[in-house]
Structure 1
Amino acid sequence: MRKTEENIFKFLMILSTIIISSTLFMILYTIFSRGVGSLSWDMISKIPEGGFYIGKGGGILNAIIGSVYITLGSTLLGLLVSIPIVIYINVYTKKNSLLANITRLSYDILFGIPSIVYGAFGFAIMVYMGLKTSLLAGIITVTLMIIPILVRAIDEVVRVVPEDMSNSVYSLGGTRYETAKILLRQSIPGIITAILLSFGRAIGDAACVLFTAGFTDSIPTSLDQPAATLPLSIFFQLSSPIQEVQNRAYAAAVILTIIVLIISIAAKIASKNLSKNKI
């Protein structure tokens, strides 16, 4: 009976792996087969020229730079908010206290809210405060969306650090602040993984920035100017009835995929190196 049960679950795991791997391969094949042929240096190094969205010259440099600005800004801002929250509920409150549990439940709920809701919320705040679509509005809205990801991911990593380590610090006369530093040091590989998850969510989201960051054919030079993003650029090009423009959308998707791949590899290398040099 146990052997049969084990074989069933083993079969289900293998089947799930095959399905997920096949789906990933099909997505990558579709993107690269239709997009690589439309990739060019002009597309990467130039902003859209007149008539770009009807098949004429130019590129998507504005969307690439805009996505990087919004993603880096929101990730850094999200970390500044998330890490103190995680430290407070793991160091400055009692383990599994009511406050800590309510905080975790709240972020679990926020984690499941669709990005379009964050976009609508950010737009409502902008209207109330009399702001316009801008790079700053996009960064703030995306930050609100990824904070739950960062908090819950970092929290889970910090919680698996052996409790004996914290007790050792206290026994040596260490303060809560010093304990928090050691916990963060031990959790660096996991924090990098959390950053990667939030980065991927931020750079690939279109609904969240649709109402807040706006869209422009130029590169923003200040926080109060609108900013284009790769997901919106892909969306607008795919909406075109012109086949050449649709192929450019797939080329933009290739660029977005390569950016995420580079970040993933860099994070993996950094995590591996840092895990060797913990305390």
Structure 2
Amino acid sequence: MSNVKKRLLKEKIAKVAMQASGITITGSLFFIVGTILYKGLPYLSWEMISQSPKGGFYIGKEGGIFNAILGSLYLAGFSTFLAAIIGIPISIYLNIYIKNGTFTERASKLLFDVLFGIPSIVYGAIAFSIMVWMGIRASLLGGVITITLLTIPIVVRTVDELLKTVPVDLKHVTFSLGSTRWETAKMFLRYIKPGIFTAILLAFGRAIGDVAGVLLTTGFSDNLPKYIDEPAATLPLAIFFQLSSPIPEVQGRAYASALVLTFIILIIVICTHLLASKQQKHKI
């Protein structure tokens, strides 16, 4: 067999493998979404979305998951805000105040790569230890501490990749004009502004869907979260507890809760793609 035929054969094999992978992933996505719709849609109602659990909700009685929806939004919102105001300055410092290629720069980015891959249950255990040391009980505050630790590496690494898209010549020009590093940092932030919102949305999506970390630190409550030092329900935890029930109606409510969470994630994904497209146009 000639080299040309071998190359064409490899090309065909690679094409078939990529098509098979795409079909498998797409099919898995439709299967998951279809299962959630099929099992959850019959149990989804306005009363379920707008009401808090009432007595016996987890054994099939009246009520809803409004407290879990609100708790998830509070938890993800506060955590993402803290992760953004901590993570963005870290990325700016690593890319502008530290020279590229130095040991400090490479070690710092490697550290955040490692933190990015650590399972959320580990962050939950670390946050739980911090809570015990500080005398904080399981509460919304404990969940915020956990999810903030979890999402800081996401923000840092995403913004770091965005800053790599800034032309090197642009950095040299700003310095040659006598700009300080802080003035250069502000210019970079304006350049990647749409991408920063994308990073924040990615962190928010990761925060609102986590269950392992908040299982140890947030607690659970049927009441609406009014204060940050009170236990709070979240959608992932509500799904977990409802699926653990042997009652078919409660299990159906779990799939309905999963449908609500999926809808929220879908909105986040759409916004992320829109902002990514805007960032691409901005670069062009």
In the alignment, is the contact (CA less than 8 A) between 2:198 and 2:275 conserved in 1? no
Matching residue of 1:128: 133
Match of 2:236 among 222, 231, 235: 231
**Unpaired stretches in structure 1, ≥5 consecutive residues:** none
Greater Cα shift, 198-207 or 21-30: 198-207
Equivalences for residues 38-77 of structure 1 within 5 A: 38-77=43-82
For 1:36 and 1:115, locate their aligned partners in 2 and report how far apart those are by CA, in whole Å: 29
Matching residue of 2:95: 90
Matching residue of 1:246: 251
Matching residue of 2:3: none
- TM-score with structure 2 length normalisation? 0.94
In the alignment, is the contact (CA less than 8 A) between 1:133 and 1:211 conserved in 2? yes
Greater Cα shift, 242-251 or 197-206: 197-206
For 1:227 and 1:136, locate their aligned partners in 2 and report how far apart those are by CA, in whole Å: 9
In the alignment, is the contact (CA less than 8 A) between 1:136 and 1:224 conserved in 2? yes
In the alignment, is the contact (CA less than 8 A) between 1:188 and 1:271 conserved in 2? no
In the alignment, is the contact (CA less than 8 A) between 1:189 and 1:275 conserved in 2? no
What is the CA-CA distance between 1:273 and the residue it aligns to?
Answer: 4.4
Match of 2:113 among 92, 95, 108: 108
For 2:161 and 2:267, locate their aligned partners in 1 and report how far apart those are by CA, in whole Å: 25
Matching residue of 2:213: 208
Matching residue of 2:20: 15
* Structure 1 runs, 4 residues or longer, greater than 6 Å off: none
Matching residue of 2:199: 194
Deviations 1:133-190, CA, capped at 9 Å, x for gaps? 1111111110001111111111111112210111111122211111111222222233
For 1:276 and 1:18, locate their aligned partners in 2 and report how far apart those are by CA, in whole Å: 30
What is the CA-CA distance between 1:271 and the residue it aligns to?
Answer: 4.2
Corresponding residue SS for 1:100: helix
Identity among equivalent pairs (%):
55
Matching residue of 1:219: 224
In the alignment, is the contact (CA less than 8 A) between 2:195 and 2:279 conserved in 1? no
Matching residue of 1:164: 169
Q: Which amino acid aligns with 1:158?
A: L
